Amino acid sequence: MKHIALKITAFLFGIALWFYVISLKNFQLEIEAPIILSKLPETLAIASRPPQSMPITVEGRPFDLIRMRAQETKAASIIVDLHDIELGSHRVHIGSKNYSAPNFPNIHYVDSDERLSFIDLDIDTRIVRNVPIRSNVTFRPANGYIITSEPVLNPEGLNVSGARNALMRIIEVPTDSIRYDSVKAPGRYTVPLRFDQLPAYVAPNDSAIEITIDVQKVTNKVFKDVPVHLIGRYDKNEMSLLPSTVEVEITGGEKILDTLKADALDLFVEINRFTIEDVDSLPPTVRLMIDKSINTDLSIKGIQIKPDKVRLQRKIPQPTTETSTDSTQAPAKPTVFTMDDLEEEGK
């Protein structure tokens, strides 16, 4: 047992001695270090897409190198000072002056004769441009509801700062593709923006926008005895529409219909249409005299007229004779003519 204990002790002592000897020697290690571009003047911007990191070789004691390897890209970095750079294209060489590892003072950058390290930069004038935002958001109302207005983006454009040439290539900034189903009430939604297609070193002033949508419950409203006007050049004493009033049923958003009054309905028929279309009855044209801010294409779902058509009638007075002395004789009723009758009479 004593010999075994001595052997174990000697083995452990040998390992400790080996580690001690190894720790006195310097070793080299290749790591991937991030590139940090600093002190760029505010009036300038980077127009190219330089690499985000580069491989470098460092040298130090084994235990320090093991710790650095564990921290990976957080341990060391390459800092490029651009305070005196000018407009144009530049090739910046990387060396020990750019190396930074504040938590590892005993590890040093190794200049390599076999590998020439550099990065290429294009420097341009910095501008700020307002870029339109394109919505990729879809809203689907629930059954029995209707979207009464186009979605409103706030803001509609995004201020982007960067190199002039880079910003001129940006057409728009899209939102994330999102779909909202079964929407039952007006709401305001925060939607992220997508920047994966933007050039490098372009700085937007925000990362999300708000989209407002108006949703209302679908309802019906009936207006009775709405007059239908005959428009165009004609003798009002001879021609008129039959019937002269109709019933109008409108289907649309609840809030929109609550504010809609009968005097906002303008129904008319152009007299020339009877001749052009060669018919004696036509559906009236409906025009809603409401606020222009209301999108009737979205807020009004349907309009139904009863009866759906009106006829053109012509009143022809009955001739009077001097021999007629019966004062009690009933006046003659107006005669209703169709378009065929009118055309035949014209011949």
CATH number of the domain enclosing 84: 2.170.120.30
In a domain, 35, yes or no: yes
Convert the pLDDT of each residue in 5-50 to its tens digit: 666 666 666 665 555 555 557 788 888 999 999 999 999 999 988 8
Q: Are residues 236 and 143 in the same domain?
A: no
The verdict on 154 and 206 lying in the same domain is yes
Looking up tokens 């708000």, which residue turns up?
Answer: 210
Q: Does the pLDDT at position 170 exceed 70?
A: yes
Tens digits of per-residue pLDDT, 231-260?
998 888 888 999 999 999 999 999 989 989
Specify whether 36 is located in the same domain as 51: yes
Is 329 among the domain residues? no
Domain boundary, last residue among 72, 92, 125: 125
5 inside domain = no
**Judgement on whether residues 69 and 155 belong to the same structural domain of the protein:** no
Contact at 8 Å (CB) between 175 and 191?
A: yes
> Is residue 78 pLDDT above 60, yes or no?
yes
Q: Are residues 152 and 206 in the same domain?
A: yes
Domain shared by 243 and 300, yes or no: yes
Is 270 inside any structural domain? yes
Residue 230 and residue 207 in one domain: no
Task: Tell me, yes or no, whether 115 and 32 share the same domain.
Answer: yes
The half-sphere exposure of 111 on its side-chain side, counting CA atoms within 13 A, is 7
Cα dihedral sign for 217, 223, 226, 228? positive
Angle, helices 2-23 vs 62-71, to 10°: value is 70
Judge whether 279 lies within some domain. Answer: yes
Domain end among 125, 154, 175: 125
- Give yes or no: residues 199 and 289 share one domain: no
Q: Are residues 103 and 116 in the same domain?
A: yes
- Model confidence at 337: pLDDT above 50: no
Is residue 180 in a domain?
A: yes
Q: What is the DSSP string of 245-260?
A: EEEEEEEEEHHHHHH-
Does pTM top 0.75 for this prediction? no
Count: domains in the chain: 3
Q: Read off the CATH number of the domain in which 149 is found.
A: 2.170.120.40
| Alpha carbon distance 219, 264 (integer Å) | 18
Q: What is the span of the domain harbouring residue 306?
A: 217-314
What is d(CA 219, CA 166) in angstroms, rounded to the nearest whole number? 51
User: Residue 257: phi, psi to the nearest 5?
Assistant: -70, -30
Q: What pLDDT does residue 87 have?
A: 94
pLDDT at residue 1 tops 60:
no
- Tell me whether residue 6 is in a domain: no
Region 132-148 average pLDDT: 95
Report the chain's mean pLDDT, rounded to a whole number.
Answer: 85
Cα separation, 317 vs 194, in Å, equals 75
